[in-house]
Chain A
Amino acid sequence: SQQGEEDPQALSIQEGENATMNCSYKTSINNLQWYRQNSGRGLVHLILIRSNEREKHSGRLRVTLDTSKKSSSLLITASRAADTASYFCATGLGETSGSRLTFGEGTQLTVNP
């Protein structure tokens, strides 16, 4: 079964607005990662947050992690049409499971020009 579950499944916003996607997971993790997938392409890594971190920034991306609630959020600020893609969270369990990641089902983001 999927470790991560994204919410919402689909999100449609106007260019310039902020987009927030949420991810919940079930077991303790070592790290949580977000990936983007453009239509018909492979996944591209966006950002990684460790289990002992609460917030991380990268350009227009802001990720938060709440291990007590087993949840994470990805905020994309000042969205652009080029941000249209599917976004997946992936959890890493760390040393005991090697390098494996478990992916959620994704949020489809549409940014309208």
Chain B
Amino acid sequence: NAGVTQTPKFQVLKTGQSMTLQCAQDMNHNSMYWYRQDPGMGLRLIYYSASEGTTDKGEVPNGYNVSRLNKREFSLRLESAAPSQTSVYFCASSARTGSQETQYFGPGTRLLVL
């Protein structure tokens, strides 16, 4: 049981390049999330998917797109990377227990945009 996995672990891009961050979970969770974490800050929600087939914008969606490929996989795409997107990206998933949800996080992808 690997939990939440993310690939790649580290990536360097040049401004204007595109890339897709991959996330997969093996816990049969319905909800999945993408966050970014900048130095000295908490996590900010980029996009989330409450269930397979649905996606919604979070707090900072500009410059990103997502795909909920199936129940297991939720990818984040940067179409034209900018230096402001240099950050650590975390994927998470959650299991619903009543109306409370705890989230399980992947190890993160460190992205540097030059």
Interface residues of A, Cβ cutoff 8 Å to B? 2, 4, 30-31, 33, 40-45, 48, 50, 88, 90, 92, 94-95, 98-106
A45 and B96 CA atoms in complex are apart in Å by 14
Beyond the given A43-B43, A50-B100, please list 9 additional residue pairs across the A-B interface where CB-CB is below 8 A.
A42-B92, A45-B103, A90-B103, A94-B99, A100-B48, A101-B45, A101-B103, A103-B35, A106-B42
Determine the residue in chain B with the shortest Cβ distance to A101: B103
Return the contact of A105 from the options B40, B101, B104, B106 (Cβ within 8 A).
Answer: B40
Taking residues whose C-beta sits less than 8 angstroms from the other chain, chain B's interface range is 20 to 34
Return the contact of B50 from the options A4, A31, A99 (Cβ within 8 A).
Answer: A99
B96 nearest CB across to chain A (Å): 7
Interface residues of B, Cβ cutoff 8 Å to A? 4, 31, 33, 35, 40-45, 48, 50, 58, 90, 92, 94, 96, 99-108
A32 nearest CB across to chain B (Å): 10
Secondary structure of the B side of the interface?
A: strand
| CB within 8 Å for A99 and B94 given contacts A104-B42, A105-B41 | yes
- Chain B residues with Cβ below 8 Å from A50 are 100
Interface centre among B40, B42, B94 (most CB of A within 10 A): B42
**Would you call A92 and B101 a contact (CB within 8 A)?**
yes
- Chain B residues with Cβ below 8 Å from A33 are 102
A87 and B98 CA atoms in complex are apart in Å by 25
Determine the residue in chain B with the shortest Cβ distance to A89: B42
**Would you call B43 and A99 a contact (CB within 8 A)?**
no
B86 nearest CB across to chain A (Å): 16
B7 nearest CB across to chain A (Å): 14
A101 and B92 CA atoms in complex are apart in Å by 11
**Would you call B101 and A99 a contact (CB within 8 A)?**
yes
